[in-house]
Amino acid sequence: MEKLAQLDFSLLCLGHAFLGGTLVNEPNRVGPEGKAFLRGGIQVADTIQAACAAAVRKMPGAKKGEIAHAAMAELIYDLPLQPARDPGIPRSMPPTLLGHINAALSGSYPA
């Protein structure tokens, strides 16, 4: 997203997955809206990465599921998330958390 945000573009096409669930239901962002969308995405990614990296530091040797729960315990205050009752992790979050946990474990995404 950082590299994309550095490009000079006038249209950002997000695809069908971004057609609903937000106040802006159009999947295309035109002009400054595209840059603003990317800045927001970068902030969210950095927030998730910081929570995962902090959980990895606090819990050396923990399993990825334990790290995910620890990260979610912090993210619930920083992002507009609604946890599921059973695992405490929203259904859409495991793939996102896994990517950030792997990056935190490998050090490939500095937090």
- Which amino acid would we find at residue 67? I
Q: List the single range of 27-31, 41-45, 56-60, 83-87 with lowest mean pLDDT.
A: 83-87
Q: What is the pLDDT, as a whole number, of residue 2?
A: 87
CA–CA dist 51, 25 (Å, integer): 29
Give yes or no for residue 21 having a pLDDT over 60. Answer: no
- Examine the pLDDT at 48 and tell me if it is beyond 70: yes
Mean pLDDT of 2-9: 90
C-alpha distance from residue 23 to each of 18, 28, 46, 47, 108 (Å):
11, 13, 23, 22, 33
How many helices and strands in the chain, by DSSP H and E?
4, 2
Of the two residues 85 and 59, the one the predictor is more confident about is: 59
- Cβ pair 4, 29 in contact under 8 A: no
pLDDT of 98: 86
